[in-house]
Amino acid sequence: MKALIIGFLLLGLGLDQPAIAAEPVSNGKATELSLHRMERLVTLKKIDEAFQTKLKAVKLEVLPHQGVDQPAFKFTMVQVAGEDGSQRAVEITLTEEGRSLGFQPLPGGSEPKDAPDWSDKDSAELSESALHYVLDNVSVNSKLAPYFNNLSQLNLSPASGPSASGRVACVTIVARGDDPVLKIFLRADGTIESVEFVPK
């Protein structure tokens, strides 16, 4: 009986403790989460499948906000351009903790034309592979910190030039400020072939 009473007391003490708040996420982590959200929306048939298979760019705007439940990140996911040069796009908003708040397909845009035909991985997966390189290595490579903390845009394109090691895609990551542009070259299976820092 004594043990039971002590157990209830400990439980009561635990209930009195405030919930531990989640930490705000970095721009790089938020971008990865936005891609996961986009893929989920495709699975649920809420948005066009081409956002996953013919993604061209992810643009990030950091929003002023007062609380953890307000939009802190606004992402614009853009497809490959159509014949008339216009692009289909969808906006996705997240809180500072990376929780999804909503999405909004933008008006206009035409069917993507001449989109790359990726073999093993689709465009979203290739973009995620590049982001994982930044997220997984920033703790040991300080040169990646600007793209982890201040990422503003990500672009996916076919890799130019022949490569014996099988590079097929280039993910270009831009950070705010004067930091170089980070170019991550990937093989068809999403593995990293090489990395370059190119001055703006």
* 67-91 residue pLDDT tens: 888 999 999 999 999 999 999 999 9
Determine the pLDDT at residue 21. 54
Which residue is associated with the tokens 């099988």?
166
Q: Rounded to the nearest 10 degrees, what angle do helices 27-43 and 123-137 cross at? A: 150
Give strand ranges (E) for 117-180.
151-158, 167-175
- For the entire predicted model, the pTM comes to 0.87
Determine the pLDDT at residue 107. 96
What rounded mean pLDDT belongs to the chain?
90
Determine the pLDDT at residue 164. 62
Separation between Cα atoms, residue 188 and residue 170, nearest integer Å: 11
Domain chopping of the chain, boundaries:
24-200
Residue 116 in this model has a pLDDT that exceeds 60: yes
